Structure 1
Amino acid sequence: MRVITGDFRGLKLEAVPGNLTRPTADKVKESMFNMIGPYFDGGEVLDLYAGTGALGIEAVSRGMSHGTLVDRQYAAIKTIHQNLEKTHAADRFTVIKAPVDKAMHNLAGHHFDLIMADPPYAKQEVLDQLQSFLELDLLTDDGIVLLETGLDLQYPDAISGYDILRHQTYGVAQVLILQKAVTK
Protein backbone atom coordinates (compact mmCIF):
# COMPACT_ATOMS: atom_id res chain seq x y z
CA MET A 1 0.00 0.00 0.00
CA ARG A 2 1.52 3.30 -1.10
CA VAL A 3 0.78 6.91 -1.96
CA ILE A 4 0.34 6.92 -5.72
CA THR A 5 1.24 10.49 -6.73
CA GLY A 6 1.74 14.05 -5.56
CA ASP A 7 3.80 15.45 -2.69
CA PHE A 8 4.06 12.08 -0.90
CA ARG A 9 4.41 9.94 -4.03
CA GLY A 10 5.82 6.47 -3.42
CA LEU A 11 5.46 6.67 0.36
CA LYS A 12 4.85 3.17 1.72
CA LEU A 13 2.01 3.17 4.23
CA GLU A 14 1.65 0.88 7.22
CA ALA A 15 -1.37 -1.43 7.42
CA VAL A 16 -3.61 -1.66 10.47
CA PRO A 17 -2.71 -4.87 12.35
CA GLY A 18 -5.38 -7.56 12.46
CA ASN A 19 -8.31 -8.11 10.14
CA LEU A 20 -10.75 -5.41 11.29
CA THR A 21 -9.64 -2.97 8.58
CA ARG A 22 -9.82 -3.56 4.83
CA PRO A 23 -7.55 -1.14 2.97
CA THR A 24 -8.54 0.14 -0.46
CA ALA A 25 -6.43 -1.53 -3.13
CA ASP A 26 -3.95 0.83 -4.83
CA LYS A 27 -5.50 0.12 -8.23
CA VAL A 28 -8.99 1.06 -6.99
CA LYS A 29 -7.62 4.13 -5.17
CA GLU A 30 -5.89 5.33 -8.34
CA SER A 31 -9.09 4.89 -10.36
CA MET A 32 -11.14 6.73 -7.74
CA PHE A 33 -8.83 9.75 -7.79
CA ASN A 34 -8.67 9.76 -11.57
CA MET A 35 -12.47 10.07 -11.58
CA ILE A 36 -12.61 13.03 -9.18
CA GLY A 37 -9.37 14.88 -9.81
CA PRO A 38 -6.83 13.67 -10.23
CA TYR A 39 -5.25 16.77 -8.61
CA PHE A 40 -6.64 19.48 -6.35
CA ASP A 41 -5.91 23.16 -5.87
CA GLY A 42 -6.44 23.43 -2.12
CA GLY A 43 -9.57 22.58 -0.18
CA GLU A 44 -10.40 20.29 2.70
CA VAL A 45 -11.01 16.56 2.71
CA LEU A 46 -12.90 14.49 5.30
CA ASP A 47 -11.91 10.81 5.35
CA LEU A 48 -14.47 8.79 7.30
CA TYR A 49 -13.64 5.23 8.40
CA ALA A 50 -10.06 6.25 7.65
CA GLY A 51 -8.37 2.95 8.60
CA THR A 52 -4.76 3.58 7.56
CA GLY A 53 -5.49 7.15 6.48
CA ALA A 54 -4.51 6.23 2.92
CA LEU A 55 -7.39 8.01 1.15
CA GLY A 56 -7.01 11.24 3.11
CA ILE A 57 -3.22 11.17 2.75
CA GLU A 58 -3.59 10.62 -1.01
CA ALA A 59 -5.99 13.58 -1.29
CA VAL A 60 -3.58 15.91 0.55
CA SER A 61 -0.68 14.54 -1.48
CA ARG A 62 -2.62 15.50 -4.62
CA GLY A 63 -3.16 19.09 -3.50
CA MET A 64 -5.84 19.31 -0.81
CA SER A 65 -4.73 21.81 1.86
CA HIS A 66 -5.93 19.84 4.87
CA GLY A 67 -7.27 16.39 5.72
CA THR A 68 -9.48 15.35 8.64
CA LEU A 69 -9.23 11.60 9.27
CA VAL A 70 -11.84 9.84 11.41
CA ASP A 71 -11.79 6.32 12.80
CA ARG A 72 -13.01 4.81 16.06
CA GLN A 73 -10.60 1.90 16.34
CA TYR A 74 -7.49 2.41 18.50
CA ALA A 75 -5.24 0.33 16.20
CA ALA A 76 -6.36 2.38 13.19
CA ILE A 77 -5.68 5.70 14.95
CA LYS A 78 -2.22 4.49 15.94
CA THR A 79 -1.52 3.43 12.33
CA ILE A 80 -2.81 6.76 10.97
CA HIS A 81 -0.39 8.64 13.23
CA GLN A 82 2.49 6.40 12.08
CA ASN A 83 1.60 7.06 8.44
CA LEU A 84 1.26 10.81 9.00
CA GLU A 85 4.72 10.92 10.58
CA LYS A 86 6.09 9.42 7.35
CA THR A 87 4.64 12.34 5.35
CA HIS A 88 6.63 14.90 7.39
CA ALA A 89 3.50 17.05 7.06
CA ALA A 90 1.38 15.91 10.01
CA ASP A 91 0.34 19.55 10.56
CA ARG A 92 -1.76 19.29 7.38
CA PHE A 93 -3.99 16.70 9.07
CA THR A 94 -6.41 16.42 11.98
CA VAL A 95 -7.07 12.97 13.42
CA ILE A 96 -10.32 12.27 15.28
CA LYS A 97 -10.84 9.09 17.28
CA ALA A 98 -14.62 8.71 17.44
CA PRO A 99 -17.52 6.87 15.85
CA VAL A 100 -18.29 8.45 12.48
CA ASP A 101 -21.74 9.77 13.43
CA LYS A 102 -20.40 11.46 16.57
CA ALA A 103 -17.48 12.99 14.65
CA MET A 104 -19.85 14.30 11.97
CA HIS A 105 -22.02 16.01 14.58
CA ASN A 106 -18.93 17.58 16.17
CA LEU A 107 -17.86 18.87 12.74
CA ALA A 108 -21.31 20.33 11.91
CA GLY A 109 -20.96 23.53 9.89
CA HIS A 110 -17.34 22.84 8.91
CA HIS A 111 -17.31 22.75 5.11
CA PHE A 112 -15.39 20.08 3.21
CA ASP A 113 -14.71 20.07 -0.52
CA LEU A 114 -14.42 16.28 -0.55
CA ILE A 115 -15.89 13.68 1.79
CA MET A 116 -14.71 10.10 1.39
CA ALA A 117 -16.33 7.17 3.18
CA ASP A 118 -15.11 3.59 2.99
CA PRO A 119 -17.12 1.88 5.74
CA PRO A 120 -16.75 -1.75 6.79
CA TYR A 121 -18.75 -3.65 4.18
CA ALA A 122 -20.85 -5.38 6.83
CA LYS A 123 -21.96 -2.07 8.40
CA GLN A 124 -22.93 0.14 5.51
CA GLU A 125 -24.89 3.11 6.79
CA VAL A 126 -23.70 5.49 4.10
CA LEU A 127 -27.11 6.18 2.55
CA ASP A 128 -28.33 7.61 5.87
CA GLN A 129 -25.03 9.43 6.33
CA LEU A 130 -25.40 11.10 2.94
CA GLN A 131 -28.42 12.96 4.27
CA SER A 132 -26.53 13.81 7.46
CA PHE A 133 -23.77 15.44 5.38
CA LEU A 134 -26.40 17.86 4.07
CA GLU A 135 -28.27 18.34 7.35
CA LEU A 136 -25.02 19.03 9.23
CA ASP A 137 -23.83 21.39 6.47
CA LEU A 138 -20.56 19.49 5.95
CA LEU A 139 -20.16 20.08 2.20
CA THR A 140 -19.13 23.16 0.27
CA ASP A 141 -21.61 24.30 -2.39
CA ASP A 142 -19.92 22.16 -5.05
CA GLY A 143 -18.68 19.48 -2.65
CA ILE A 144 -17.98 15.94 -3.81
CA VAL A 145 -18.74 12.70 -1.93
CA LEU A 146 -16.89 9.52 -2.80
CA LEU A 147 -18.21 6.26 -1.36
CA GLU A 148 -16.60 2.84 -1.54
CA THR A 149 -18.91 0.03 -0.48
CA GLY A 150 -19.51 -3.66 -1.02
CA LEU A 151 -21.60 -4.91 -3.91
CA ASP A 152 -24.46 -5.91 -1.61
CA LEU A 153 -25.48 -2.27 -1.13
CA GLN A 154 -28.03 -1.19 -3.75
CA TYR A 155 -27.91 2.50 -4.54
CA PRO A 156 -31.14 4.18 -5.62
CA ASP A 157 -31.34 5.77 -9.07
CA ALA A 158 -31.55 9.20 -7.43
CA ILE A 159 -30.32 10.46 -4.06
CA SER A 160 -32.00 13.54 -2.63
CA GLY A 161 -29.69 16.55 -2.47
CA TYR A 162 -27.07 15.06 -4.78
CA ASP A 163 -26.23 14.65 -8.43
CA ILE A 164 -24.78 11.22 -9.24
CA LEU A 165 -21.59 11.74 -11.21
CA ARG A 166 -20.30 8.18 -11.51
CA HIS A 167 -20.93 4.62 -10.37
CA GLN A 168 -18.20 2.04 -10.97
CA THR A 169 -17.68 -1.58 -9.88
CA TYR A 170 -14.30 -3.12 -9.00
CA GLY A 171 -14.30 -6.81 -8.05
CA VAL A 172 -16.03 -6.96 -4.64
CA ALA A 173 -16.27 -3.16 -4.29
CA GLN A 174 -18.27 -0.39 -5.88
CA VAL A 175 -17.52 3.31 -5.98
CA LEU A 176 -20.19 6.02 -6.11
CA ILE A 177 -19.28 9.65 -6.75
CA LEU A 178 -21.82 12.34 -5.93
CA GLN A 179 -21.84 16.11 -6.03
CA LYS A 180 -23.95 18.31 -3.80
CA ALA A 181 -26.91 19.41 -5.92
CA VAL A 182 -27.18 23.08 -6.72
CA THR A 183 -30.16 24.60 -4.94
CA LYS A 184 -32.05 27.34 -6.73
Structure 2
Amino acid sequence: MRVISGTCKGRPLKAVRGNETRPTTDKVKETMFNVIGPYFSGGKGLDLFAGSGGLGIEALSRGLDHVIFVDRDANAIQTIYHNLALCNMEEKSEVFRNSAERALKAILKRKLQFDLIFLDPPYQKQKLEELLNFIESKNLIAPSGIIICEHSTDVELPHKIGHLEQAKKGDYGSIGLTFFHRIENEKGV
Protein backbone atom coordinates (compact mmCIF):
# COMPACT_ATOMS: atom_id res chain seq x y z
CA MET A 1 0.00 0.00 0.00
CA ARG A 2 1.43 3.37 -1.02
CA VAL A 3 0.64 6.94 -2.01
CA ILE A 4 0.13 6.84 -5.78
CA SER A 5 0.59 10.47 -6.80
CA GLY A 6 1.22 14.02 -5.65
CA THR A 7 3.62 15.41 -3.07
CA CYS A 8 4.06 12.04 -1.30
CA LYS A 9 4.13 9.88 -4.43
CA GLY A 10 5.61 6.45 -3.79
CA ARG A 11 5.59 6.76 0.01
CA PRO A 12 4.69 3.36 1.54
CA LEU A 13 1.80 3.33 4.01
CA LYS A 14 1.28 0.96 6.90
CA ALA A 15 -1.86 -1.22 6.85
CA VAL A 16 -4.03 -1.76 9.92
CA ARG A 17 -3.11 -4.98 11.72
CA GLY A 18 -5.64 -7.82 11.64
CA ASN A 19 -8.39 -8.60 9.18
CA GLU A 20 -11.07 -6.20 10.46
CA THR A 21 -10.01 -3.51 8.00
CA ARG A 22 -9.97 -3.94 4.23
CA PRO A 23 -7.54 -1.51 2.58
CA THR A 24 -8.48 0.01 -0.77
CA THR A 25 -6.17 -1.44 -3.40
CA ASP A 26 -3.85 0.85 -5.34
CA LYS A 27 -5.72 0.00 -8.55
CA VAL A 28 -9.11 1.01 -7.10
CA LYS A 29 -7.59 4.13 -5.50
CA GLU A 30 -6.10 5.15 -8.85
CA THR A 31 -9.48 4.59 -10.54
CA MET A 32 -11.21 6.80 -7.95
CA PHE A 33 -8.85 9.69 -8.50
CA ASN A 34 -8.92 9.32 -12.29
CA VAL A 35 -12.72 9.69 -12.16
CA ILE A 36 -12.84 12.73 -9.86
CA GLY A 37 -9.82 14.48 -11.34
CA PRO A 38 -6.30 13.60 -10.42
CA TYR A 39 -5.39 16.77 -8.49
CA PHE A 40 -7.06 19.42 -6.34
CA SER A 41 -6.43 23.08 -5.73
CA GLY A 42 -7.37 23.10 -2.07
CA GLY A 43 -10.54 22.03 -0.30
CA LYS A 44 -11.66 19.93 2.65
CA GLY A 45 -12.08 16.17 2.78
CA LEU A 46 -13.71 13.63 5.08
CA ASP A 47 -12.47 10.03 5.27
CA LEU A 48 -15.34 8.60 7.33
CA PHE A 49 -14.30 4.95 7.67
CA ALA A 50 -10.63 5.78 7.37
CA GLY A 51 -8.93 2.47 8.21
CA SER A 52 -5.26 3.20 7.48
CA GLY A 53 -6.08 6.69 6.21
CA GLY A 54 -4.87 5.83 2.70
CA LEU A 55 -7.69 7.57 0.81
CA GLY A 56 -7.53 10.81 2.78
CA ILE A 57 -3.73 10.87 2.63
CA GLU A 58 -3.89 10.35 -1.14
CA ALA A 59 -6.28 13.32 -1.39
CA LEU A 60 -3.93 15.48 0.71
CA SER A 61 -0.98 14.42 -1.43
CA ARG A 62 -2.97 15.49 -4.51
CA GLY A 63 -3.76 18.95 -3.19
CA LEU A 64 -6.58 19.02 -0.61
CA ASP A 65 -5.88 21.48 2.20
CA HIS A 66 -7.36 19.53 5.10
CA VAL A 67 -8.85 16.09 5.80
CA ILE A 68 -10.76 14.79 8.81
CA PHE A 69 -10.17 11.08 9.44
CA VAL A 70 -12.71 9.05 11.43
CA ASP A 71 -12.60 5.42 12.49
CA ARG A 72 -13.89 3.61 15.56
CA ASP A 73 -11.07 1.05 15.77
CA ALA A 74 -8.12 1.92 18.06
CA ASN A 75 -5.62 0.09 15.80
CA ALA A 76 -6.87 2.06 12.81
CA ILE A 77 -6.46 5.36 14.67
CA GLN A 78 -2.86 4.48 15.60
CA THR A 79 -2.17 3.52 11.98
CA ILE A 80 -3.63 6.78 10.67
CA TYR A 81 -1.41 8.81 13.01
CA HIS A 82 1.61 6.74 11.91
CA ASN A 83 0.86 7.22 8.20
CA LEU A 84 0.21 10.95 8.59
CA ALA A 85 3.58 11.30 10.32
CA LEU A 86 5.28 9.30 7.52
CA CYS A 87 3.86 11.79 5.03
CA ASN A 88 4.44 14.87 7.20
CA MET A 89 0.71 15.72 7.05
CA GLU A 90 -0.23 16.07 10.72
CA GLU A 91 -0.84 19.81 10.32
CA LYS A 92 -3.33 19.22 7.51
CA SER A 93 -5.47 16.69 9.34
CA GLU A 94 -7.68 15.86 12.30
CA VAL A 95 -8.15 12.30 13.53
CA PHE A 96 -11.12 11.14 15.61
CA ARG A 97 -11.95 7.77 17.13
CA ASN A 98 -15.71 7.63 16.83
CA SER A 99 -18.61 5.96 15.06
CA ALA A 100 -19.61 7.47 11.74
CA GLU A 101 -22.96 8.66 13.06
CA ARG A 102 -21.51 10.40 16.12
CA ALA A 103 -18.70 11.93 14.04
CA LEU A 104 -21.18 13.37 11.54
CA LYS A 105 -23.21 14.93 14.37
CA ALA A 106 -20.05 16.50 15.83
CA ILE A 107 -19.06 17.81 12.39
CA LEU A 108 -22.55 19.25 11.97
CA LYS A 109 -22.06 21.37 15.10
CA ARG A 110 -18.92 22.86 13.48
CA LYS A 111 -20.93 23.84 10.38
CA LEU A 112 -18.39 22.25 8.03
CA GLN A 113 -18.90 21.39 4.37
CA PHE A 114 -16.67 19.02 2.44
CA ASP A 115 -15.46 19.04 -1.14
CA LEU A 116 -14.69 15.31 -1.02
CA ILE A 117 -16.14 12.57 1.19
CA PHE A 118 -15.00 8.94 1.22
CA LEU A 119 -17.52 6.37 2.50
CA ASP A 120 -15.97 2.93 2.78
CA PRO A 121 -17.76 1.18 5.66
CA PRO A 122 -17.29 -2.52 6.45
CA TYR A 123 -19.26 -4.37 3.76
CA GLN A 124 -21.30 -6.45 6.19
CA LYS A 125 -22.36 -3.37 8.19
CA GLN A 126 -23.02 -0.87 5.43
CA LYS A 127 -25.65 1.78 5.86
CA LEU A 128 -24.60 3.83 2.84
CA GLU A 129 -28.05 5.07 1.88
CA GLU A 130 -28.72 6.22 5.45
CA LEU A 131 -25.33 8.00 5.59
CA LEU A 132 -25.91 9.65 2.20
CA ASN A 133 -29.34 10.86 3.35
CA PHE A 134 -27.83 12.38 6.49
CA ILE A 135 -24.96 14.06 4.62
CA GLU A 136 -27.35 15.49 2.03
CA SER A 137 -30.07 16.60 4.44
CA LYS A 138 -27.58 18.33 6.75
CA ASN A 139 -25.79 20.05 3.86
CA LEU A 140 -22.37 18.56 4.70
CA ILE A 141 -21.29 18.36 1.05
CA ALA A 142 -20.12 21.55 -0.69
CA PRO A 143 -21.99 22.70 -3.83
CA SER A 144 -19.39 21.16 -6.16
CA GLY A 145 -18.58 18.32 -3.76
CA ILE A 146 -18.19 14.63 -4.54
CA ILE A 147 -18.95 11.58 -2.40
CA ILE A 148 -17.26 8.28 -3.23
CA CYS A 149 -18.90 5.12 -1.87
CA GLU A 150 -16.93 1.88 -1.86
CA HIS A 151 -19.07 -1.22 -1.47
CA SER A 152 -19.52 -4.81 -2.58
CA THR A 153 -20.62 -5.24 -6.20
CA ASP A 154 -24.12 -6.41 -5.23
CA VAL A 155 -25.00 -3.06 -3.59
CA GLU A 156 -27.40 -0.87 -5.59
CA LEU A 157 -27.70 2.71 -4.39
CA PRO A 158 -30.49 5.04 -5.52
CA HIS A 159 -29.73 7.19 -8.55
CA LYS A 160 -30.77 10.30 -6.63
CA ILE A 161 -30.90 11.19 -2.93
CA GLY A 162 -32.18 14.72 -2.40
CA HIS A 163 -29.64 16.98 -4.08
CA LEU A 164 -27.18 14.13 -4.57
CA GLU A 165 -27.08 12.39 -7.92
CA GLN A 166 -25.04 9.44 -9.12
CA ALA A 167 -22.32 10.69 -11.43
CA LYS A 168 -20.75 7.29 -12.12
CA LYS A 169 -20.96 3.71 -10.96
CA GLY A 170 -18.69 0.81 -11.75
CA ASP A 171 -17.41 -2.54 -10.56
CA TYR A 172 -13.69 -3.13 -10.21
CA GLY A 173 -13.20 -6.80 -9.45
CA SER A 174 -15.11 -7.55 -6.26
CA ILE A 175 -15.37 -3.84 -5.38
CA GLY A 176 -18.13 -1.49 -6.44
CA LEU A 177 -17.69 2.27 -6.56
CA THR A 178 -20.52 4.77 -6.75
CA PHE A 179 -19.76 8.47 -7.18
CA PHE A 180 -22.31 11.10 -6.14
CA HIS A 181 -22.16 14.80 -6.84
CA ARG A 182 -24.32 17.54 -5.49
CA ILE A 183 -26.73 19.06 -7.99
CA GLU A 184 -28.40 22.42 -7.65
CA ASN A 185 -32.07 23.11 -8.15
CA GLU A 186 -33.50 26.24 -9.72
CA LYS A 187 -33.14 28.15 -6.42
CA GLY A 188 -29.39 27.46 -6.31
CA VAL A 189 -29.55 25.00 -3.42
**TM-score computed with the length of structure 1 as normaliser:** 0.97
**RMSD between superposed Cα atoms in Å:** 0.9
4+ long deviations beyond 3 Å = none
Structure 1 residues 67-82: aligned runs within 5 Å: 67-82=67-82
SS class of match (2:116): strand
Gaps of 5+ in 2: none
Compute the displacement of 1:116 (Å): 0.7
**Residue of structure 2 aligned with 1:168, choices 167, 170, 173:** 170
Query: After superposition, where does 1:1-12 map in structure 2 within 5 Å?
Result: 1-12=1-12
Q: CA deviation at 1:163?
A: 2.0
The Cα of 1:143 is off from its aligned counterpart by 1.1
Distance 1:139 1:160 in 2: 12
Residue of structure 1 equivalent to 2:123:
121
Residue 53 (str. 1) matches residue 53 (str. 2):
yes
One-letter code aligned to 2:7: D
Q: Counterparts of 1:95 and 1:183 in 2: how far apart (Å)? A: 34
The percentage of aligned residue pairs carrying the same residue is 41
Give the TM-score, by structure 2 length. Answer: 0.94
| 1:183 shift after superposition | 2.5
Cα deviation code 1:101-131 (max 9, x no counterpart): 1000100121110111111110110111101
Tell me the alpha carbon deviations over residues 48-105 of structure 1, each in whole angstroms, 9 at most, x when there is no partner: 1000000000001000001111100000000000101101121101101100010001
Aligned length: 184
Q: For residue 113 of structure 1, what is the amino acid of its counterpart?
A: D
- Structure 2 letter corresponding to 1:44: K
Mapping 1:15-54, distance limit 5 Å: 15-54=15-54
Shift of 1:164: 1.4
Residue identity in the other structure for 2:77 = I
In the alignment, structure 1 segments of 5+ residues that lack a partner are none
| SS at structure 2 position matched to 1:64 | coil
Tell me, what secondary structure is at the counterpart of 1:107? helix
Determine the structure 2 residue equivalent to 1:100.
100
Q: Which amino acid aligns with 2:183?
A: A
Q: Give the superposition deviation at 1:149.
A: 0.5
Query: Could you report, residue by residue, the CA deviation over 1:24-44 in whole angstroms, capped at 9, with x for unpaired residues?
Result: 000000011000011000000
Q: State whether residues 23 and 51 of structure 1, in contact with CA within 8 Å, keep that contact through their aligned partners in structure 2.
A: yes
Residue 156 of structure 1, CA deviation = 2.5
1:158 aligns with 160
